[in-house]
Amino acid sequence: MKTKMVTILLCFFFMITCAPYRRCAEDLRKEYVITGSLYSLDASLECLARRYLKKPGDEKTANYLKEIIPRIQDKHIKKAQGFLRKKHYDKAIMEYDRLIELNALVSRLPGDIPKFDENKIMDGRSKIVREAAKSHFNKGNEYKHIYWNIPASQRVKRKETAKKAAIEFRKCLAYDPSYPDAEYKYEFWKEKAIRKIVVMPFTPHGRTRPSIEGRIIADNILSTVQEIEAEFIKFLIPDTERLLRRWTKAFDPDYAPVILGHLDADDILYGEISIDTRDTGWQTKWESNQETLYKCRGKKSGDIWENITGCSGKRYVFLGEKAEEIGRKQITAKWRVHTRETSATIIGNYILKHLRARRACEVLTNGSFSKRFSDSSSYCDSLSGDERAVPPGVKSCLDREPTPPTLPHILAKEAAKNAGKEIAKKLFKYYH
């Protein structure tokens, strides 16, 4: 009976695992016949290939594969040629890249399954790659000429045009890393396109000087952008102490750039923060627990013992016999619990403004943020009463050494780091 059940389960599992491949391939093949969708044909090939790898030699699957593999190659090459006639070189290359991707799968199939013509694919792709590199290089030069015709006063427009030129030279290098002058021009125009942003340390609300947390926010904006490897933005942090020595009245970010001109910045970022730190100190309370203590006796041995889990119908391994209850009583344990909680919350806002004539003018973007970090610690002592009434969780608490939680000012620094990273990612998204 057991053998029969195992056989039935194995057959059922085989039907479940294999049927989706057959159904997926056949349904997609029918969809292709109806709609002519190349995606359906590609997806059908992937389904069939996975099924054939699981069940090599399946005649029906092999026939499907022999039918669609040549058709897929022809379809993608014809589509690439169509893009090529329209000078859409990137899209044409994508068609050949898709064939290379599918060929990696088809090459793993055993038996006499036909493969894609690798020589034909690579030859066709290499011809288009040369044209694509040349096309992007020429587009980069077009943006270069546009750039020099833009008045120097239109700084933002110039940088946007330089960015477009750099992107085109970068695409050229992606297709042909040795293309003449492309690397030099990419570096040259990337430097022209970089937007330089002065990041002012954030100041607490109502104060004129930045706090430690405000400096941490600025530092982490800079370090996060460096980790992201931003291509067209660069953050600058000024010598804040020097700035504030020269600017002794209430800090006004709109006029600060007047004495930040040496940084040659395009934009300025500044903000305000409010910090709320809390520390409850060690809070103490008494807790207790009551349990019923059962008195048990082994039915065979007559041995007597006590426990809080009961006796009736229980088999105790150490006795190897069933026990009966012969009595019970209430026991109580009492202990003292010490808890301490700390937290730090930073709430703030930031403004990114464009600099014109070394003055902050139009608002480019702004936002707000809120970060909270907390910690807690606890330990127990002063146990009295019957230890057998102590719950398991309390036992570990009694064994724990008194350790204070993370102090609020350290949590505030962590919150500031987190806020800086969040702002940097938002700015990166804005500029890209």
Supply the DSSP string of 238-306, one letter for each residue: --HHHHHHH--SS--TTTGGGG-GGG--SEEEEEEEEEEEEE---EEEEEEEEEEEEEEEETTT--EEE
CATH code where residue 261 lies: 3.40.50
Together in a domain, 234 and 189: no
The neighbour count for residue 65, using CB atoms within 10 Å, is 22
Answer with the one of 193, 208, 233 that is the final residue of a domain: 193
**Rounded Cα distance, 37 and 35, in Å:** 5
119, amino acid identity: N
Together in a domain, 180 and 217: no
95, amino acid identity: E
Together in a domain, 150 and 101: no
Answer with the one of 61, 82, 116 that is the final residue of a domain: 116
Q: Is position 57 within any domain?
A: yes
Together in a domain, 209 and 175: no
**Rounded Cα distance, 29 and 235, in Å:** 54
pLDDT at 294: 86
Together in a domain, 262 and 354: yes
50, amino acid identity: R
How is residue 262 written in tokens?
Answer: 């040496």
Domain count, the chain: 3
Together in a domain, 231 and 362: yes
pLDDT at 259: 52
Together in a domain, 364 and 426: yes
261-307 pLDDT, tens per residue?
A: 556 778 888 889 999 999 999 999 999 999 888 888 877 777 787 87
Weakest-pLDDT range from 10-24, 283-297, 319-333: 10-24
Q: Is position 296 within any domain?
A: no
Angle at 402 between CA 400 and CA 403, to 5 degrees: 105
- Mean pLDDT, range 416-421, rounded to an integer: 94
How is residue 123 written in tokens?
Answer: 């030859």
Q: Which DSSP state fits 339?
A: E
Using DSSP's 3-state secondary structure scheme, residue 38 falls into helix
Q: Which pTM does this prediction carry? A: 0.64
How is residue 184 written in tokens?
Answer: 């030099």
**Rounded Cα distance, 166 and 172, in Å:** 10
Q: Which DSSP state fits 432?
A: -
For residues 48 and 63, the answer to whether their CB atoms sit within 8 Å is: no
Q: Is position 357 within any domain?
A: yes
Q: Is position 72 within any domain?
A: yes
Q: Is position 307 within any domain?
A: no
Exposure class string for 195-214: b at 16+ Cβ within 10 A, else e: bbbbbbbbbbeeeeebbebb
Q: Is position 396 within any domain?
A: yes
**Rounded Cα distance, 260 and 263, in Å:** 6
Domain enclosing residue 397, as ranges: 195-281+342-432
Together in a domain, 212 and 228: yes
The neighbour count for residue 231, using CB atoms within 10 Å, is 15
**Residue 316 pLDDT > 50, yes or no?**
yes
Together in a domain, 416 and 390: yes
Together in a domain, 38 and 152: no
**Residue 192 pLDDT > 60, yes or no?**
yes
Together in a domain, 402 and 266: yes
For residues 165 and 186, the answer to whether their CB atoms sit within 8 Å is: no
Answer with the one of 174, 193, 212 that is the final residue of a domain: 193
Res. 33 pLDDT band, cuts 50 70 90: very low
Q: Is position 336 within any domain?
A: no
**Residue 96 pLDDT > 50, yes or no?**
yes
Together in a domain, 252 and 365: yes
pLDDT at 252: 60
How is residue 261 written in tokens?
Answer: 């001109």
**Residue 25 pLDDT > 60, yes or no?**
no
How is residue 337 written in tokens?
Answer: 């619990």
Q: Is position 389 within any domain?
A: yes
Quote the mean pLDDT of the chain. Answer: 81
How is residue 312 written in tokens?
Answer: 């009736």
